[in-house]
Structure 1
Amino acid sequence: MTESLDPERSACWRAYIESSQRLFTQLEDDLRADSELSFADYHVLVLLSEAPGQRLRMGELAGRLVFSPSRLTYQISTMQKRGLVARQSCPEDRRGSEAVLTAAGLLALREAAPHHLRSVRAHLIDDLDDAEVACLTRVFERLGRRLRADRAASSTPADHQGARDARDHR
């Protein structure tokens, strides 16, 4: 049996889980009220707006969003119906496809961004001092690196081939 957490670590874990869920819910609610975008919509638009040519291969986008291929396909399909993104064949590799930011998607992002930033500041950033910001950045960057490495180490070559096959047949 796994050893239980001491009271301090248990309190840390519970505080993290409860506050992160509340924060995400609040940010999502604010975003939807101000823009009719979901948090996932907004994140896709941000990543595409920052990418060269405002386009990313579906596999890369899924990895950056931490989405399964099927979840990304659904997300992009719903955004495509709303005119926020387009899906196109990769110019270099016709087997793959890319998500491409549309003019309507860029406009939606530009309109939503100031409201979202206000929400992020009000519900998180403005409540932290510089030392807390630096500490949280170090902690979450370290955890992110470790989790990405753990995931990469746990996937097998067959997993990679299956993901490529699934991507190429979409």
Structure 2
Amino acid sequence: MDEMSQWLSPAEQHAWRSFLRMQEKLAARLGRELLTQSKLSPADYGVLVELTDTPDGRRRLQDLAKALEREQSRMSHHIARMTKRGLVTREECADDGRGVLVVITPAGRAAIEAAAPHHVDTVRRLFIDRLTPEELGTLTRISDRIVAELEREPADQADPSVNGSAAAQAAGRQRAPRRPKP
């Protein structure tokens, strides 16, 4: 930790760790229930949601990777697995011979349509129903503000190669050196 860094106060650390625990527990539980009910992984579900949100059920691979915060190479491998399962296809982009379009198939559309009602019920049961309308509004405002600020931040400020694993840093798992004793 450099000279300019400030340690989190106990209240800040508690808030941060509580947020991480909640996020991890919700993601794990939602993922297990989604996989059990639909045989779709959370990553599959995310891709299918993005594709069904477009009028023609197709998106450029690089745009899909960006929307889902994935590296393009990882997204490409994931799309290859989904293609083998018949959920999506890959097409050459007419505008750009190098570009790839990911297209939802009828089987992919059927899978998301079957999975969505149970998934929404699970989100409601595990998350929405545990918040008052006021808490939900506050959480929405906080989340929207932080997301907007992160999206405005220059990409080089979030470069994972600068100081260790981005995933570890984001999760707060990269330990800082112990605070010197006075």
What is the TM-score when the length of structure 2 is the normalising length? 0.81
Aligned residues: 156
Q: Relative contact order (alpha carbons < 8 A, sep ≥ 6): 1 or 2 greater?
A: 1
Q: Secondary structure at the match of 1:52?
A: coil
Instruction: Give distance in 1, aligned partners of 2:34 and 2:140.
Output: 23
Instruction: Give distance in 2, aligned partners of 1:154 and 1:98.
Output: 30
Distance apart, 1:152 and its partner CA: 3.7
* Larger radius of gyration between Structure 1 and Structure 2: 2
Partner of 1:23: 26
What is the TM-score when the length of structure 1 is the normalising length? 0.87
Give the structure with the larger helix fraction. 1
Instruction: Give distance in 2, aligned partners of 1:100 and 1:51.
Output: 10
Instruction: Give distance in 2, aligned partners of 1:120 and 1:99.
Output: 27
Distance apart, 1:91 and its partner CA: 2.0
User: What residue ranges of structure 1 are gaps of 5+ in the alignment?
Assistant: 157-170
Partner of 2:38: 35
Distance apart, 1:151 and its partner CA: 4.4
Q: What is the one-letter code of the residue matched to 1:113?
A: A
Say if 2:12 is the partner of 1:5.
no
Instruction: Give distance in 1, aligned partners of 2:138 and 2:100.
Output: 39
Partner of 2:75: 72
Instruction: Give distance in 1, aligned partners of 2:9 and 2:76.
Output: 42
Say if 2:102 is the partner of 1:99.
yes
User: What residue ranges of structure 2 are gaps of 5+ in the alignment?
Assistant: 160-182
Superposed structure 1 runs of 4+ greater than 2 Å apart: 151-156
Q: What is the one-letter code of the residue matched to 1:42?
A: Y
Q: Match for 2:53 among 47, 50, 54?
A: 50
Identity %: 38
